[in-house]
Amino acid sequence: MRYFRSVLPTRMHVRPKVVTSGSHMNSVEDVEDNVNGGGASGGQEERVKLSPHATQRRNEAKILEEEPSGNAYNLFAFPSECNFSGLRFSLDLANLIKENSERILEGSPFGKYVRGHWIVLLDAAKGCTTCPPDLSKYAVDFVVISFYKLFGYPTGLGALVVQNDAARLMKKTYFSGGTVAASFADMDFVRRREGIEEHFEDGTISFLSIASIRHGFKILNSLTPSMMSRHIAALTMYVKKMLLGLRHENEANVCIIYEGHTSKLVCHESGSIVSFNLKRPDGSWFGYSEVEKLASLSGIQLRTGCFCNPGACAKYLGLSHLDLLSNLEAGHVCWDDNDIIQGKLTGAVRVSFGYMSTYEDAKKFIDFITSSFVSKPNKSENWNMLRTKSILLSNEGHERKAGYYLKSITVYPIKSCTGFSVESWPLSSTGLQHDREWLLKSLTGEILTQKKVPDMCSVSAYIDLNKGIMFVESPRCREKMEINLKADSYPGGIEEIELHAQSRYEVQYYENDVDLWFSHAVGHPCSLLRCCSSKNYSSLKKDKSRNLCRDVESRLNFANEAQFLLISEESVSDLNNRLSLIDAQKGTRGTSVKINPMRFRPNLVVYGGEPYAEDGWLNIKIGNKNFMSLGGCNRCQMINLVHQAGLVQRSNEPLATLASYRRVKGKILFGILLRYEIQDKKGMQTGSWLRVGEEIHPNSE
């Protein structure tokens, strides 16, 4: 009887993978039915084949041409459950590889290696939760498991279960604390510890996390795997059935679920996850970031993207190597929000169920999908159009003047920090002079924003143009920081950085004392950078129509999308009326906090006219200055941050309410983006000023 030991954590890919030691070759394989062999009387090995994927290497290594000896070792690795589709591979694959590798690998580039020894690795990190493998039945040499996936705690802890005979094949080229019996400091001598676990467990093991594992096993043993498996399978099948049954008002399917082949030999029943994407009535896609954003507002946690499984993601979404490279060149990287590029999806949505999941959880998820993404006759006639009919609960405070006027001007010198309001301010080729001209960068190169560092809201900046100084205050710092506006006032260096995957900036660094002040102010080690110049070099949208991405035709400082954000006071008032109506329906009248226009961090606030009239503006004139509208501003969770009494609190509003009536193809729009149409194209400064009270003349034609 085989004896196994637990030694160390690891992680594997989803597709079966073959590695041969004789030639240092490796291949990704698809396990398929053999349609040309094995009839009703054929054996299992005659009905299974491996279809290799050509592996393209960055640096093509020289492959040994000679035939391998019979002592060559070959590794076949496969998962017990796919973390993308949820399909469970039959563990009989392990026995088939061991006993009939020559027939199964027929036609594969590894056919000549079948005379060697085959070792099988089973990635059970996902599958062992509800279907633990019986190692007495299957010829498996290595098994990877994850305690985090078993119990949900602790993170980063798993194990590699190794068969004794296979353990002798494992070699390590380095050593560290705890893995050696003796070593000499002044000569090349080391004697390693003999036990396999002692040989590979480097340093101090995570004994506190390991001590908690027994509590997880106690829960699983009380529930039993078979009972958990039946419970999770019932929830998964219910969700799949309900998703596949959803239809838009034009009878178009709403959902596509990613599942593999139905061969009982290759795969058993599905596991605990459902991966899918959603379609609009016209057949276009809802992006996964839109689904995730709305789900979080409903208290539902999803995972989106490729789930750290690029192979299965490319397979199920039909993405070629050219598609993947084009997406990368367009700026798409893991964890970003670029969910649709050139009409093609870059990832999917995944829901997962565990022993603690309930029918009510599944029902809530289906109700969320139905209410948020299924087009019904009682909804807007056009699913992708804004519903802009305003709500007025009373006439108090809503007397509107004929025409539009500029009510306030706000400058934000440091990106994501608090700005200051003025009665008048000069314009430049980048918008309001000095607006978002500075930012804070972490020591790892990450740009700091309030989304990740909410305390940035307590840092306020004010610029005195007469003195040529920016004053910065923070409740964490006793002294104000004074930054001279003259570019040559500090000896810090100049270098280039890239932001937004579309712009390259030349930035100025400051001295160490400045960085120390800001690090203390925000509670994170960081550096202050100033924009000296910027250059846009690409755009995801090549057409000339108004779009919702970054403005690449004008010069920007560190703004995310455009030079100006304009908010209408009437639109904010309508939003507050909707929030009050929701509170009244919940029986919580009077408990909501009125949303101030400054919650949206606008540069310009206007008043007059009807709510959301700004949606239709093509361009506007403020005094004698011309501005072009670039479309609506896509809102994010940042507007849900509430700053009160020095504390930052998160809520679902107002984004949840805006999502109910301001969605356009994955975007939740509120306010419009503007670009200053500078008169003197050659001059960097125009000498023009904006002033509060100036009349605004919009053009909606």
- 477 is known as an active-site residue: no
For residues 357 and 364, give the distance between their C-alpha atoms in angstroms, rounded to a whole number.
Answer: 12
The first and second tokens of residue 118, run together, are 């085959």
Tell me, what DSSP letter sits at residue 454?
Answer: G
Length of the chain: 701
For residues 285 and 344, give the distance between their C-alpha atoms in angstroms, rounded to a whole number.
Answer: 8
Q: Is 208 helix (H, G, I), strand (E, B) or coil?
A: helix
For residues 76 and 73, give the distance between their C-alpha atoms in angstroms, rounded to a whole number.
Answer: 10
In the block, tokens 């610029």 appear at: 463
Q: Is 177 helix (H, G, I), strand (E, B) or coil?
A: coil
For residues 285 and 247, give the distance between their C-alpha atoms in angstroms, rounded to a whole number.
Answer: 14
Q: Is 507 helix (H, G, I), strand (E, B) or coil?
A: strand
The first and second tokens of residue 523, run together, are 């509670």
Which backbone phi and psi does 339 adopt, to 5 degrees? Answer: -90, -20
Q: Identify which of 617, 633, 431, 620 has the alpha carbon closest to the alpha carbon of residue 550.
A: 633
Q: Burial-class residue 375 by CB neighbours within 10 Å (0-12, 13-18, 19+).
A: buried
For residues 137 and 307, give the distance between their C-alpha atoms in angstroms, rounded to a whole number.
Answer: 31
Q: What residue type is assigned to position 545 of the chain?
A: S
For residues 438 and 413, give the distance between their C-alpha atoms in angstroms, rounded to a whole number.
Answer: 6
For residues 148 and 559, give the distance between their C-alpha atoms in angstroms, rounded to a whole number.
Answer: 39
Q: Burial-class residue 443 by CB neighbours within 10 Å (0-12, 13-18, 19+).
A: exposed
In the block, tokens 């509430």 appear at: 642
Q: Which of 82, 308, 477, 633 is catalytic?
A: 308
Beta bridge pairs of residue 31? 50
Task: Name the residues annotated as catalytic.
Answer: 308
